[in-house]
Structure formats: structure tokens, C-alpha cells
Amino acid sequence: MILAVTSSSLPLLVAIGTTIFASVTGPLVVVLMLARQQRRGKELDWEREDERDAQQKREAEERAQVAAAQLLAANAEIAARLAETNGQTQGRLDSLDAGVERVHTLVNSDKTAAMQRDLDSAKEKLVLLGEIADLKHAAGLAPKPETLGEIESTERRITELQAELDDRHRQADLAEQQMKKHE
């Protein structure tokens, strides 16, 4: 059956065609609009995530700067205490050097005491250097190789001083026992 198109049926055909076109393309347009809205929503989420990440990075950098400033202040305080301790130790050693001319027994006694103070000072220095290393680790930084080397050197010095003092104490005990035998 062939339909004849007349001028009176043309508006009807246009209406039918428009209805068919609208019923097919309408859902497609809605789907495209929803897809575009979803994409824009995702883009907004990504922008918010980027901004949040940037804010967290800025905050982490600020915390790192605060920690670095605190570390520098702590290092300055430790250095001042270390200089004071070294000055006291040096002063003690200088005063001992002036008394070297005294009686041999007094010199040995004074030298043992100085070694004990030197040992005590080295132990204090090791504690301070350990605090420096701990502060740097807490700030997420590695201690300087010079600091680690100084820690090792100080540990060796403590071991040497302790061995020398132990030997001096053994010698003094032997001398005391000898004197008691002769009395």
C-alpha cells in the first residue's frame, strides 16, 4: 500500500515524524545531559581533592618548617650547653695542670678525678649528641655525618677513659693493700 502525500496529510506526517524523532532523540539528549552533569560533578570532586591535597602539602611544609626551627633552636641550646660543659671541663683540666708540681700522690689523685670529670663530661656530651640525632630523626631528617662521627668518637673516648679509670682504681687498691701489709 502506497500512501499518497497530499498537502492536507503533510502536517500530519510532519507531526508523526517529529513525534518519532522526539521519542528517539529525547532519551538520548537526556542521557547526554546526565553524562555531562556526572562528568562535571567528577571534575568538581577532582578539583576539591586537588585543593585538599595542596592544602595538606602546605600544612606539612609548615609543620616541617616549624620542626626545623625548633630543631635549630634545640641545636643552639645544646651547642651552648656543650660549650659550657667543655669550658668547665677545660677549666678543670687547666687548674689540674697548674697543680702538676704537687706531691706525686696528690697528682695521681687529682688526675684520676680529672679523668672522672672528663668521663662524666664525655657522657654528658654523648647524651646531648644523642638528643640532636633524635631531634633530627623526629623531624624526618638524617643527622649529619659529622654528628654521627662525633658520637662514635665520644663512645670510644668513654670506653678508653673507663678502662683507664678502672686500671687506676685497681692500682690504687693494690697500693693500699701493700701499705696495709707494711704497717
- pLDDT of residue 52 exceeding 90: yes
How confident is the model at residue 154, as a pLDDT? 93
Whether 74 is in a domain gets the answer: yes
Whether 5 is in a domain gets the answer: no
pLDDT in tens, 153-178: 999 999 999 999 999 888 888 878 88
pLDDT in tens, 25-34: 878 888 888 8
For 82-120, the DSSP string reads HHHHHHHHHHHHHHHHHTTTS-HHHHHHHHHHHHHHHHH
pLDDT in tens, 38-49: 999 899 989 999
Q: How confident is the model at residue 56 (pLDDT cuts 50, 70, 90)?
A: very high
Residues 147, 101 contacting (CB under 8 angstroms): no
Cβ contacts of 108 within 8 Å, gap of 6 or more = 168, 172
Q: How confident is the model at residue 113 (pLDDT cuts 50, 70, 90)?
A: confident
Residues 165, 116 contacting (CB under 8 angstroms): yes
Whether 2 is in a domain gets the answer: no
- pLDDT of residue 7 exceeding 70: no
Determine the Cα–Cα distance for residues 84 and 78; give it in Å rounded to an integer. Answer: 10
- pLDDT of residue 103 exceeding 50: no
Grid coordinates representing 59 are 600544612
Residue that wins the pLDDT comparison between 145 and 86? 145
Domain with 143 in it: 11-182
pTM of the model: 0.41
Residue at grid coordinates 567528577: 42
The number of domains in the chain is 1
Residue that wins the pLDDT comparison between 150 and 89? 150
Whether 148 is in a domain gets the answer: yes
Grid coordinates representing 88 are 668547665
Whether 37 is in a domain gets the answer: yes
Residues 123, 89 contacting (CB under 8 angstroms): no
Q: What is the pLDDT averaged over residues 136-155?
A: 91
Q: What average pLDDT is seen over the chain? A: 83
How confident is the model at residue 102, as a pLDDT? 43
